[in-house]
Structure 1
Amino acid sequence: MQFDSCSGRRQWTSDGAKRLVGQQVERPVTVEEKDRAVEHPTRVGVQVEVRHLVRMSAHQG
């Protein structure tokens, strides 16, 4: 059973279960979890922008 820092009690939470198996959590607490939470949307945003720029250059040329 994981410790829930919000309630101060030992109880199962969805984030506790995700931490146990190494999945991304809903409410990141550690620096590593926060980095992982920011990394995915940033990577997706960059991919979308690159596709947009490629389409723009194909239409201009």
Structure 2
Amino acid sequence: MNKYLRTLVIAPMTTSSKNYPTRIEVKHDNKIGWIVLDQIRTIDKGRFVKPLGRLSKPEIKELKAIIK
């Protein structure tokens, strides 16, 4: 979907969070952070600066299970 539209569907990240069931803990830049799946939103591609990295296969599997 993100490939064909002028918008992107994103899940924000945070460095401080409680252990909610809709948040996935990830390591980024040698810090622990969380992907906040309870705040998925759509943004214009013009607001997107750069990707922060890529998720591992286990992280992707966990993300899909939570969204499902």
Q: Structures share a fold, TM > 0.5?
A: no
What is the TM-score of this pair, normalised by structure 2? Answer: 0.26
Between Structure 1 and Structure 2, the one with more helix by share is 1
Higher relative contact order, structure no. (Cα contacts within 8 Å, ≥ 6 residues apart): 2
Q: Radius of gyration: which is bigger?
A: 1
What is the TM-score of this pair, normalised by structure 1? Answer: 0.28
